Structure formats: C-alpha cells, structure tokens
Amino acid sequence: MQTLRCATYEGFDAKVVDVEATLTKGLPSFSIVGMVSSSISEAKERVKSALLSNEFRFPPKRITINLAPSELTKSGTQFDLCMALLIVLNESKENFDEWFVFGELGLDGSVKENIQLYPLILSLAKQKCISKAIVPYDALDKLSKIPNIAFYGVKTLQEAIEVLQNKTTTQQFAQEIPLGYDYYEIDGVKYYYIKEYKEDFLDVKGQEIAKRAAVIAAAGFHNIILEGSPGCGKSMIAQRLRYILPPMQESEILDLAKLEVLDGKEPSFKPHRPLQSPHHSATTASIFGGGSYKARIGEVGLANNGVLFFDELPHFSKGVIEALREPLQDNKIRISRVNAKIEYPANFVFIGAMNPCPCGNLLDEHKECRCNELEIQRYKNRLSDPFLDRIDLYVVMQNIRSDDKSSLSSKEMHKMVVSAHIFAKERGQKEFNAKLSDEDIAKYCTLNEEAENILSMAVERFRLSFRSIKKVQKVARTIADLVQSDTIEKEHILEALSYRRREA
C-alpha cells in the first residue's frame, strides 16, 4: 500500500489528509472512501480518463482510495493528482509518505491550478507540517512566495511521476517576499511598506481634530467613531486611513494574500492593509461569517490586520452592533454550528461613521434639525454603552467652512505613523498599543506623577470603568510614541481624555 499527503479545509485552517490506495484482486471497481464530497467522487472519471489518454493501463483490480482521517469531511479537486499517482505507482517499493501532492487533473492528463491551493498550503506552512510539494506549474508564481517549502511544478501527470521517481530535478524553492518594496528591520523582523496613496488626506479640507485622531488611530490600531453632519468628510477620512497604517511583516502579507483568495480576488502581495466596508443592510452571516453546513469567513474576518468601516453605524441592526463587541474585545470571532466550531482572527481597526441625528442637521449651523428629542434619543440609543466602551476615540467633526484648507498629506501622516511604529518596536513591544494586554499596559504605559494625578481625577469625575481607564492609557501611549516620549506625560493624558465620548 502506498501513501501520499494532501489537505482540505476545516474552517479557517487546513488539515493534513493521508491519501492511501490499495489494489486487490476481485471484480474491477474504483471507490473512494473517507467522508468525501461530490467534487472528490467525480474525480474517479477524471483520473480514469487521464490515465487512459496517456497510455497508462488502468488496472483491472478492485481499487480503493482512502482519505484519512475518516471523520474529517473532505472537499476540493486538489486530490485528483494524488489518487492518479497512487494508482500508477502502487507497486513501487519507494516510500512517498513525506510528499504532499496537489493538483486537479484534466481529461488529457494535464495538471490544472486550483485557486484554493494558496491559502491551503500557506496554512500548512504556518503549522510547519510541509517541506516539499508537487503542485501545478501555473501556480508556482503565487506559491513560491510561501517560505521554507520546496515546490516541484508539473504540467502533466507524466512529469509528476518523474518527480517521484527522481527522474527529474525540476523544482522551485520558495523566494523571500516581497521584492521591490521599502522596509526596515528591527530585531531580525522586516517591516514592509509602500509609498502609494491612491486617496490622499490633502483632499480633506479642515477637520484638523479628526485628522489628528486618524493619525493616532492608525499608529496604535485604535477603534474610532466619527460623528458629524452629512458631507463633512467622515467617509473620506475612513477610506484614506488604510494608506497610513503601519508597515506589515512578511507573515501579515502572506495572510492578506490568503484572505484575498478566500474573498475571490487575485492575491497582490502588496504591503497595503485591507479595507472592508459592508453596507448597513448586510446580514449578520455575511458580516461575521457562517452558513448552515460549512461556515464561511465574513467581512470581519476579511478585515484582519486592516480596517473594518461601518458607514451610517446606527442603521446597522442591533444584533450586528452587539455581536461586534466580541471581536472588538478579543480580536477574534467564533462561529458555532452543529457540525463545527470555528475561530477566525479579527485584529482590525474599527471605524464607525454616524450622523448626530436621523436628519443629520443637529450640529449644522446653517440648517435646521427636523428631529424631535425622542427621535434623536432613539437614534443614539442604537449604540449601547458596552459597545461604546470598546471605542478608543470618539470625534465630533467640525462644521464645514468656506476658508477650510488642506494641511497634512497622507505621505506626511504615514511618516508620523512609521516613526511611532519604529519607536514602539525598538522598546521590545510586540503588539499595537490598542491590543496590549494588562501585563503589557503595566510594562509599557508608564505615567509620570502629573499624568497619574490627571488620570486619577478623571476616574473620579467621569466614573471611568476599568476598560475605559486602560483605553485612555493606551491612547496616551500612542500619543507619546508620536513625539518619541518614553513616559506618558500630562499633555498626553489630557489629549487622550479629550477623545472620550461626551455623555448626553
């Protein structure tokens, strides 16, 4: 009996599948067992045709292919090549256990690319359970960017056989990524960034407070809500913030490419963090992921390491807003179904944009608000206090004036964020300030005596919760990083407190 290795998805991660084959005496038959989907069952006809059209003899025996472990549901066309090779090489005395094989077979024996291969193999690489693999030649450009794996690209079934029989040396080892992008290195880790600003903050005139808050949010990965009249620039700021976010590690770029594939896009391998902006009419399942049988990733998971933007925040359903509390707090989303429990990473900057009232004119100096007190209160009450307690920065936008001018560009703001990022990393900090644990807060968020006194007074006056106190400290830490200050001083705490939501 021969064995090769392949993989399938279980939730967000790949699981190794051992593909075994036996050819025994009996009535000729071909069966595949091990909780397989229809896409794998259909592989029997593809494998038969590929073998017969390439002058291989299809054995007149009882052929049984087993995909283990049996309790794991398998799906995908990546098992085709594996099964064909096991049938051809079943009598070989060589051991192929260490080989991973991926590829869909054409009826003529050609090996075709499967769009799911990249996230599948990347997940295996992160688990450190794969060292060499036979893959479709057309997929090498993408797959070769995954480090520490020797890839053998094949175009046909015959080439794959020659690789296993050591009759060819065709291979391509993983290359270091990405090439052509600026980076800096701290403690052996490279951080890549790209000076490309498709949408520039120069387009946002005025709104100096909001732009300052945007720099703080970007530098520390802080959640932010922008409140203001229609057309004052809330969405403009949210859409531009992704371009000034901190540089990305190689692992984050690979993860982003994986998410792009899962979202049906071609991976770009650019150090640009993602932006997901679901409409307020989107369903809970589309935002958080789900499905009755196989849970799929949603907008929250796709925003990992990037930005999740909710425009017209109060118009989202109450259930969606309250469910958002978990990923905002834990940086992960859990989906529970009868068949499986799945956990997705969800480490993102949340940006919410909202009007001050249903008609939007409450803060406008020139337009009259058409809402009564009850309507305004009902509108505000759609955001609960526990949800708002998870927001680091709450900014009320300024009124638009005819003499408003452009100030900072995205390039200048990005430079400030990069400088703060380097300052934080050089003190040994692993996480962004907004994601610091209680232990890290005690270690890195050091306040001088004046700052401690200010914070103590604020706790008494505003009755801050424990979560709010920590958030003020973390925002103040980011403000201190922007000016390269080792300790949090009085002015940093005061500015951090100024971004708290004012009670109605």
Ordered by start, the domain boundaries in the chain are 2-173, 184-420, 436-504
Contacts of 242 (CB under 8 A, 6+ apart): 272, 273, 274, 275, 306, 307
- Which tokens is 120 given? 């599948």
Chain-centre distance for alpha carbon 161? 37
Structure confidence by residue, pLDDT tens digits, 119-160: 999 899 888 899 999 999 999 888 888 888 899 999 999 999
Average of per-residue pLDDT across 423-432: 95
**At residue 411, does pLDDT exceed 90?**
yes
| Average pLDDT value for the chain | 90
Fold for the domain defined by 2-173: Ribosomal Protein S5; domain 2 (3.30.230)
Q: What distance lies between CA 385 and its chain's CA centroid?
A: 27
Show Cβ contacts of residue 6 under 8 Å, excluding neighbours closer than 6 positions: 16, 17, 19, 67, 78, 79, 82, 100, 101, 102
Contact 133, 241 (CB under 8 A): no
Give me the helix-helix angle, 466-482 and 410-426, nearest 10°: 110
R_g (Cα) of the chain, nearest Å: 27
**Is 4 in contact with 99 (CB distance < 8 Å)?**
yes
More confident residue, 12 or 204: 204
Concatenated DSSP letters for 112-143?
A: E--TTHHHHHHHHHHTT--SEEEEEGGGHHHH
Give the pLDDT score at 295.
66
User: Where does the pLDDT of residue 415 fall: very low under 50, low under 70, confident under 90, or very high at 90 and above?
Assistant: very high
Please say whether the structural domain 436-504 has been given the CATH code 3.40.50.11060. Answer: no
pLDDT on residue 503: 63
pTM summary value: 0.87
DSSP string, 447-498: B-HHHHHHHHHHHHHHT--HHHHHHHHHHHHHHHHHTT-SSB-HHHHHHHHH
Distance CA 284, CA 317 (A): 9
Mean pLDDT of 295-306: 90
Distance (Å, whole) CA 84 – CA 484: 61
- Mean pLDDT, residues 479-490 taken together: 96
Compute the 3-state secondary structure of the chain and give helix, strand, coil in percent, each to the nearest 5.
40, 20, 40
**Averaged over 295-323, what is the pLDDT?**
93
pLDDT at residue 174, rounded to an integer: 47
Q: Are 424 and 249 in contact (CB under 8 A)?
A: no
3-state secondary structure at position 84: helix
pLDDT of residue 156: 94
> Does residue 85 surpass a pLDDT of 90?
yes
Cβ–Cβ under 8 Å, residues 359 and 314? no
Residue 177: pLDDT above 70? Answer: no
What does the pLDDT read at residue 297? Answer: 85
Helix boundaries (H) for 174-317 = 208-220, 234-241, 250-262, 284-288, 299-302
167 band by pLDDT with thresholds 50, 70 and 90: low
Per-residue pLDDT tens over the stretch 223-234: 999 999 998 999
* CA angle in degrees (0–180, nearest 5) for 253-224-220: 50
The per-residue pLDDT for 311 is 95
**End-to-end CA separation in angstroms for the chain:** 73
How far apart are the C-alpha atoms of 141 and 118, rounded to whole Å?
10
- What does the longest C-alpha to C-alpha distance in the chain come to? 89
Residue 300 has pLDDT above 90, yes or no: yes
Decide if pLDDT at 504 tops 60. no
Cα–Cα distances in angstroms (integers) from residue 330 to residues 323, 334, 372, in the given order: 12, 10, 38
User: pLDDT (tens digit, 9 = 90+) per residue, 53-77?
Assistant: 888 888 889 999 999 998 888 999 9
Predicted confidence (pLDDT) per residue in 277-289, tens digit: 999 999 998 999 8
Check whether 178 has a pLDDT greater than 60: no
Q: What is the pLDDT of residue 181?
A: 86
Q: DSSP class of residue 175?
A: P
| Per-residue model confidence as pLDDT tens digits over 389-409 | 999 999 999 888 888 888 899
* CATH number for domain 184-420, candidates 3.60.60.10, 3.30.365.10, 3.30.70.100, 3.40.50.300: 3.40.50.300
Q: Is the pLDDT of residue 500 over 80?
A: yes
Residue 369's pLDDT band, with cuts at 50, 70 and 90, is: very high
Which residues contact residue 384 at a Cβ distance below 8 angstroms, ignoring those fewer than 6 apart? 321, 322
Tens-place pLDDT, residues 371-389: 999 999 999 999 999 999 9
Residue 475 has which token pair? 């925002």
Residues 22-58: pLDDT tens digits?
999 989 899 999 989 888 999 999 999 999 988 888 8
Q: Which of 16, 13, 256 is nearest to 133 (CA)?
A: 16
